[in-house]
Chain A
Amino acid sequence: MRLAGQACLIIALGCAIYGMLASLYGARSGRREWVASGRRAVYAMAGSTAVAFVILEAAFERSDFGFALVASHSSTTTPTFFRLTAMWSSQEGSLLLWLLLLGTWSSIILFATRAKLRMLAPYATAILMGFGTFFASLLVFAESPFGASPVKPAEGVGLEPLLRDPLMMIHPPMLYSGYTLFTIPFAFAAAALITRRVDAEWIRSTRPFTLGAWALLGFGIVLGARWSYHELGWGGYWAWDPVENASLMPWLTGTAFLHSVMIQERRGMLKIWNVSLVLATGVLAVLGTFLVRSGILNSIHAFGASTLGVPFLLLIGGMIALSIYLVVTRAPILRSEHRLDALLSREAIFLLNNLVLVGLAFVVFWGTFFPLISEAVTGTQSSVGPPWFDKYIVPLALILVLLTGIGPVIAWRRASAAGLRKHLLVPAVAGAVVVGAVLALGVRGSTTALILFGLAGFVAAVVAQEFAQGLRARRAVASEAIPVALVSLVRRNRRRYGGYLVHLGVMVLFVGVAGSSSFQNIHDSRLSPGQSARVGSYTFTYVKPTSQLHAASNGRLERISFGAVLRVQRDGKPAQLITTTKDYFPSQDPSLGPVSRFFEGEATSEVGLKQGIGRDIWSAINPDTSRMRAKIEQGDKVFEKAGDQLTPEQANAFLAEALRGLTAGYTDNPPPATFRFLISPLVTWIWVGAFVILFGALIAIWPSPRGMARAVSAIYAARVGREVRVPV
């Protein structure tokens, strides 16, 4: 089926090129049938890409090692879930996923707007198909996922050990959904500029996609952080790594856009700012893909260093040039229809919030590309670390949190100082109470965290107050029971109350970040069994070593693990046992001896983790295998001497025997092991916050029932209609 898969990609490429040209021809000539045909080419591209995707998935599922990609990224012993998701651990597979998602989202928006936005849609289609052409070309000409294995191997290499984690297999589709969804507002914004239709209609039609992009990208970022926390063995979840940063930048500018676009919808203001933001977000989304795939910057996440740098740079350069050209040439029609009524207004707060978010994005951009900038200027590549980021990010983040609290309580257009004071009083008191409570609990040592906790209390109180006031207002007009009134309130004002929940989730997440980064207790120790280490008020005791040889169901030796059982005790409290191991996967390097291979390949950490709402207890072991070196070399020599006299089954059996000898030796006479122990307060709240954000975003995205939207419009139409008869 390789040829069928490759043919489907060629068909997808043909559809993309046709869709681009037919849409442009239809738009220029005014022939709607060509526009419709171009739109259908998008559906066809999505369909043929889906067939190629299914063919490749089927090859992974049945372990067809005639596909080079399957042989190099899967094996018969890889569990089914990982076999089905192994595709996007490869460069080719992830590009195919990009194209599939792009085709899917493009089809949905173009189908939804087939009777609307008829001047813009052909140009948006052409731009989306421009992306389609780019990615399909890469798949057809440079990185085909349907290449054949030169010799069909009996067994595949298997999935990269670090990626054998359910979260890591969901994380890329989430990120890529975010990236591809951000191309939708990019394409429609560019189309609006091309056609000079810069009103609010395209914003309204693409809003669910922008919100969806924002939510999925954000959730994907947190999934990546969680993977880093429990899989990488260093104890952190965010390292200001270039690939992490690349995903954060479009999320920040997308957040700014989602706020400032409300001002354009209401007042016809900030049009230049908004189109610039959404165009920049689209460029940054492609830049994110580029950074993961090009290997231009060193990253623990850049699994596919490759030669795709030049094509991606050309695409990004083209997007930037198009964006600048359109914004500059359309500047006269992007003038604001109104001016800011008052500095004390929600518009002004949103403007400030935008400046802070763009400032954050700029800091991240500068820090990420500093190695390239420094190399260009000085000839030496140097990078900036977390302290550099913290220096700028922390104060900006605190200002952002403050604005998150003020924004919801301030009225649009013009607010009174007295009204604002009245609405800020209770939240301000709540913030002060939180600070007092934290100090009373004896928490000291980080002024930044203390300020953030206070601000988080302030924002949480604002959200609670907003819900309470909304409920009161709803019950005053509808006399409903509280739960019914709450549901009605949210259903009728999804964007508002969904947004408030997102604010609450962001605060919960920030509390987790502040608590875990400011008050974490980290300690590295080298211990022998029976020895203990003190970390804060906790005592970690190395109880006993563990070791195991893992074989797959077909008898293939998969990995060898060395670990430890630890007892963790806090003053006067019952002890808890946790286990941590380090897994060693065999290298594929044929120059290494069969035994050595197990110690020279990839190694992953299985952290010992006890999660709690107050703190996480985290540990990771780094076993000392140097004592085994002599035995490992001895084992290699035995196999070398045996040469080809052993059948594969005999060789496997002898190798298993040798490795069992090593594991038994490790537990019988354990060497000291190095441990990292971590007590990380509040870290669980990061993951809780992410779910609250996702829930809030879903509420905001969910469309209102058509009947309800019409009824609401009808009420206000009737009110306004009364005035049409009376000259105003």
Chain B
Amino acid sequence: MDLLLVVVVLGVVVFVIAGPLRPGRAREEDLALEAERAELEAAKEAKYREIRDADLDHRTGKLSDADWRAQDRALRAEAVELLRRLDRLP
């Protein structure tokens, strides 16, 4: 029983680990480009969240109209810059 269990566990482990190494699975990818895109996407989402939080701060009265307008303008400019950088990626 012990031996059977060990053989089964070992078999499953080898099957799982060796899966990606079987022929025909490898793909060429430009990792640096992918990472750059992911980084900008993350920054973009964070910027949208920042705009939304500023919105909520304004609606709840934490930011005055003038402060919110200035901050919102700056945040949107930063978001636009991120979108442009994303567009420039091949």
Contact = CB atoms under 8 A, between A and B. Distances in A.
Interface of A: 1-4, 7-8, 11, 15, 18, 30-34, 36-37, 40-41, 43-44, 47-48, 51, 116-119, 195, 197, 199-201, 204, 265-266, 409-416, 419, 422-423, 466, 469-470, 472-473, 476-477, 493, 496, 712-713, 716-717, 719-721, 723-724, 728
A117 B36 CA distance: 10
B48 A40 contact: no
- Those 7 A-B pairs whose CB atoms lie nearest each other, nearest first: A36-B20, A473-B59, A469-B60, A201-B42, A716-B48, A4-B2, A720-B79
B46 A266 contact: yes
Interface string B23-36: 00111010110110
A37 B46 contact: no
Interface string B58-90: 011111100100010000110110011000000
A119 B32 contact: yes
B1 to A, nearest CB: 7
B26 A476 contact: no
Nearest to B8: A51
A712 B39 contact: no
Contacts of A40: 16-17, 19-20
Given A47-B13, A411-B67, A712-B52, A723 B80 contact: yes
A200 B40 CA distance: 9
Nearest to A721: B83
Given A33-B20, A476-B59, 12 more contacts: A36-B19, A48-B9, A119-B31, A197-B35, A266-B50, A410-B62, A411-B57, A419-B67, A477-B59, A712-B48, A717-B48, A728-B76
B26 A728 contact: no
Contacts of A34: 20-21
A412 B45 contact: no
Contact of B84 (A266, A414, A724): A724
Contacts, number: 162
A728 B2 contact: no
Nearest to A727: B80
A654 to B, nearest CB: 43
Given A4-B2, A51-B9, A411-B57, A204 B80 contact: no
B16 A44 contact: yes
Contact of A37 (B6, B21, B35): B21
A37 B12 CA distance: 13
Nearest to B18: A37
B38 to A, nearest CB: 5
Contacts of A1: 1-2, 5
B35 A119 contact: yes
Given A119-B32, A713-B45, A37 B19 contact: yes
A33 B31 contact: no
A422 B61 contact: yes
A713 B57 contact: no
A273 B21 CA distance: 40
Given A44-B17, A48-B13, A419-B62, A7 B6 contact: yes
A44 B8 CA distance: 12
26 contacts: A2-B2, A11-B10, A33-B26, A34-B20, A36-B25, A40-B19, A116-B38, A197-B35, A199-B39, A200-B46, A201-B42, A204-B45, A266-B49, A411-B54, A413-B71, A415-B63, A419-B63, A419-B64, A419-B67, A473-B59, A473-B60, A716-B51, A717-B48, A719-B76, A721-B83, A724-B80
A147 to B, nearest CB: 15
A416 B51 contact: no
A633 B81 CA distance: 87
Contact of A118 (B2, B19, B31): B31
Nearest to A466: B60
Interface band, chain B: 35 or more
A265 B46 contact: yes
B59 A423 contact: no
Contacts of B35: 118-119, 195, 197
Nearest to A469: B60
A728 B62 contact: no
Contacts of A721: 83
Contacts of B13: 11, 15, 44, 47-48
A32 B20 CA distance: 9
Contact of B62 (A36, A423, A493, A713): A423
A728 B80 contact: yes
Contacts of B6: 3-4, 7-8, 11
Contacts of A51: 5, 9
Nearest to B26: A33
A31 B26 CA distance: 8
Contact of A4 (B5, B63, B71, B80): B5
A285 to B, nearest CB: 26
A117 B62 contact: no
B31 A423 contact: no
A409 B32 CA distance: 41
B67 to A, nearest CB: 6
Contacts of B45: 204, 713
A12 to B, nearest CB: 9
A8 B12 CA distance: 12
Given A200-B46, A419-B64, A423-B61, A15 B80 contact: no
B17 A37 contact: yes
A18 B17 CA distance: 9
B72 to A, nearest CB: 9
A720 B48 contact: yes
Contacts of A415: 62-63, 67
Contacts of B5: 1, 4, 51
A15 B51 contact: no
A466 B3 CA distance: 62
Contacts of A204: 42, 45-46
A724 B85 CA distance: 12
A55 B53 CA distance: 51
A613 B10 CA distance: 56
Contacts of B59: 473, 476-477
A116 B35 CA distance: 8
A636 B17 CA distance: 62
A114 to B, nearest CB: 11
B84 to A, nearest CB: 7
Nearest to A709: B45
Contact of B63 (A43, A44, A201, A411): A411
Contacts of B79: 716, 720
Given A11-B13, A410-B62, A473-B60, A37 B20 contact: yes
Nearest to A415: B62
A650 to B, nearest CB: 39
A410 B26 CA distance: 52
A724 B83 contact: yes
B13 to A, nearest CB: 4
B62 A723 contact: no
A526 B50 CA distance: 64
Nearest to B29: A32
B46 A32 contact: no
A197 B13 CA distance: 32
